[in-house]
Amino acid sequence: MAQEDFDLFVIGGGSGGVRAARIAASHGARVGIAEEYRFGGTCVIRGCVPKKLLVYASRFAADFEDAAGYGWNVGKPTFDWPSLIAAKDREIARLERIYAANLQKADATLFPERATLLGPNQVKLASGRILNVAKTLIATGGTPTLPHELPGVEHAISSNEAFDLKALPRSIAIVGGGYIALEFAGIFAGLGTQVTVVHRGDHVLRNFDSDLSRRIVEAYRARGVRFELESLLLKLERRGGAAGPIVATLNSGNLLEVEQVMFAIGRTPNVAGLGLERAGVTTDRNDAIIVDELSRTSVPSIYAIGDVTNRLNLTPVAIREGHAFADTVFGEAPWQADYEHVPKAVFSTPEIGTVGLTEEDAVRCHAVVDIYRADFRTLKATLSGSNERMMMKLVVDGSSDRVLGAHLLGPDAGELVQVIATLLRTGVTKRDFDQTMPLHPSSAEELMTLRTRSARRIQHHDPLRGLMP
């Protein structure tokens, strides 16, 4: 074989790829990394970070209203979408520069271009250059899924374009019931857009605790968001030229006339045209690259991490997988990412934080399940007059007293659940919560004072129930 150009070549400069490249280089590997769009990847450029900035922007509307109850007179606030997008773009550009600079500091060689596989040990760059590489890491992430067969789909946008709209739409239909759909619904609603969520299921946030999915719809409806559940889009038509409204026809026969339609129906692993077949890398029926627990693909010299493997599509997970790969393969210190007790947030308004087993999951695999729940108006809402509430729910194994899951909806739920995740890892019991001194006055103290099994005790006679196939 020809002299290798790199010990490791990383395809994709997103969360996972950048971490893997930096750590592998720190172990002495000669590392090259290709990025076809912008270093930083989905999370930094058109995912978590810009999303959260828009969430912050959208929450000011309620803050201004709340302020009046506390004696402030802020006049009539106005909002300028182009200013927000320009500020967001400046911050994203700053972060992008930091990502590239950190790679350079680590002595990785950056290729700002597309790369594809030619074989198990060869990579081709868009410039035509062919590199010989000992190992390749595929970290190409995912792309928004669009229903290409839908008539008129070309009139719709995905989250990619939502971050760069020239103007704030007066109305939008958001198709999907996952966390990205709900986050954008909250963003647009907060900024004054009339939002309709169109979802084929009868409830949103599949796989979340049912109290969360029920309560978020109630809260959104109270904010004026409309829901078309159990609805399918049949076609989209643009009326009256390029600037005209889009008319969406639903399977109910209802017509929805809106300025924008956004699809948030899932993400597809980014493998199109990557040369996987040429190299012998296998994928599953969802196009995700099949890997083992050490992120090894079907080809011994090729590894894959992050969203392209469709394990748990979150930034911290991609980062851990990348770090574990680099330590294992180049640092002689093998370890694996741990997928237990991964905290999740939905940056909807109200916010959701969740970790561990849902009530539904717990009932399936534990003989006795105790549910503790609090649902209260926040202290802040008393003077502001808003209807802001907080829901807190603990799912407890009634036999061992161990807390199996925590599900929160309300201000800062995401921040709280990050810490609760650590407690769950260490096997915290309900008694531990009871014995911890509450911090007063706070919302979090309610978690320490869930004295009675407020909701119910669910008991099965057959303790093996749910463990059976």
Ligand X SMILES: Cc1cc2nc3c(=O)[nH]c(=O)nc-3n(C[C@H](O)[C@H](O)[C@H](O)COP(=O)(O)OP(=O)(O)OC[C@H]3O[C@@H](n4cnc5c(N)ncnc54)[C@H](O)[C@@H]3O)c2cc1C
List contacts with ligand X (CB under 6 A).
Answer: 11-17, 34-37, 41-43, 47-48, 51, 114-116, 139-141, 159, 180, 270, 274, 306-307, 313-316, 318
Give the residue with the Cβ less far from ligand X, 97 or 431: 97
Active-site residue identified among 199, 440, 460, 461:
440
Give the residue with the Cβ less far from ligand X, 51 or 407: 51
Minimum CB separation of residue 163 from ligand X in Å reads 8
Minimum CB separation of residue 325 from ligand X in Å reads 12
Maximum pairwise Cα distance, the chain: 76
Give the residue with the Cβ less far from ligand X, 37 or 64: 37
Instruction: Look up 155 and say whether it is catalytic.
Output: no
Give the residue with the Cβ less far from ligand X, 100 or 198: 100
Minimum CB separation of residue 267 from ligand X in Å reads 6
Minimum CB separation of residue 174 from ligand X in Å reads 12
Minimum CB separation of residue 400 from ligand X in Å reads 31
Provide the phi-psi class of 246: left if phi over 0, else alpha when psi is between -120 and 50, else beta.
beta
Give the residue with the Cβ less far from ligand X, 43 or 256: 43
Six-digit token string for 221? 């409806």
Contact 199, 176 (CB under 8 A): yes
Neighbours of 89 (CB within 10 A): 13
Minimum CB separation of residue 262 from ligand X in Å reads 11
Minimum CB separation of residue 308 from ligand X in Å reads 6
Give the residue with the Cβ less far from ligand X, 213 or 372: 213
CA pair distance 59, 49, nearest whole angstrom: 16
Angle at 31 between CA 307 and CA 7, to 5 degrees: 100
Give the residue with the Cβ less far from ligand X, 113 or 257: 113
- Which residues are catalytic, by number? 440
